[in-house]
Amino acid sequence: METIWLALLGALLAGYLVLGGYDYGVQLLHAALSRGEGERRLALNTFGPFFLGNEVWLVAFAGVMAGAFPHAEAALLPSLHLPVAGLLGGVVVGTVAVQLRSRHRSRPARVLWGALAAAGGLVAAAGWGLLTGILLGGSSARLFVLLCAVATLTLFAGHGAAFLAMRSGGPLRGRALRAGVPLLAAAAAAILAAAGVGAVTHLAATGWILAAPPAVQVVLLLLGTFALRREAPVWAFAATSGAAALMAPIILAASGAGMSLAETAADPTTLRLLLPVAVLVIPLLLTLQAVGWWAFRDRPPTYL
């Protein structure tokens, strides 16, 4: 039962990192890549129909973590209170700013909310790297934690650029294609550097955390840069999605707090009682996400 719930937890976290990751990337880039109010609104509306639904994956992940692995949560949260609070603060600020930006007609107000949307994306994107670095190496491993933050920041920014190129057209699409190449290259370099520093200083308790997933991430990011250069944003987005999803096993493997899987999980009776809820909720979540993507597959709306 513990293994089944760990797989469900990993799937929810991976889904959130892929879906929420491009939200944060577009928030970061929307002002820099756009020329004029029309393009800024277009950039934000590329993820407009999805971004509230994308946050549901984070809520589901937190619920499963609290219900199925309460001992890991109890061991981790006291030491990670500030990073987690900062990350969630960035998510909330960015979400509110994206929704309120178009509700104001004055230019100063839109500039303010646009800046807050970008700031929220930056904090959320870098926050996942900070959290991962602290889980793996502790807050004293400053260089390693900083490299992890740079890696996730550039990864999500490049992921957002690929999504923006896939969902937009004209000059905005071209600028997104060009911006994504150096961002993904920087993410690959930061991942390699973080893995190298972690391996040399023996930060990770299990060696595979800093070996297999980062190696695959680097390959996927290089494939993503190639796809962007070939003006194939769909393939680039698939590659960056895979790289973002591979953060999930790294985070989960580092979240054991020194305990075995059985020690972190709830008792088997509780896990069995919770399983029917997961069997109902997760397919519903996937169905709603698929319906949303299908409904808005052609042109983004303009309500943001």
Domain ranges of the chain: 2-295
pLDDT of residue 207: 60
| pLDDT over 70 at 300, yes or no | no
pLDDT of residue 296: 79
**Between 207 and 72, whose confidence is greater?**
72
pLDDT of residue 66: 81
Question: What is the DSSP track for 12-77?
Answer: HHHHHHHHHHHHHHHHHHHHHH--SHHHHHHHHHTSTTTHHHHHHHHHHHHHHHHHH-HHHHHHHT
Those residues with Cβ within 8 angstroms of residue 111's Cβ, 6 or more apart along the chain or in another chain: none
Report field, pTM of the whole predicted structure over 0.85: yes
Q: Which of 23-32, 74-83, 274-283 shows the highest mean pLDDT? A: 23-32
pLDDT of residue 101: 85
Q: Which of 29-38, 53-62, 269-278 shows the highest mean pLDDT? A: 29-38
Element holding 111 (H helix, E strand):
helix 107-137
Nearest Cα residue to 97 out of 115, 117, 120: 117
Instruction: Tell me the C-alpha distance between 85 and 214, whole Å.
Output: 26
Give the CATH number of domain 2-295. Answer: 1.20.1630.10
Nearest Cα residue to 221 out of 238, 206, 201: 238
The DSSP call for residue 79 is T
pLDDT band for position 188 (50/70/90)?
very high
Find the mean pLDDT for residues 136-165. Answer: 91
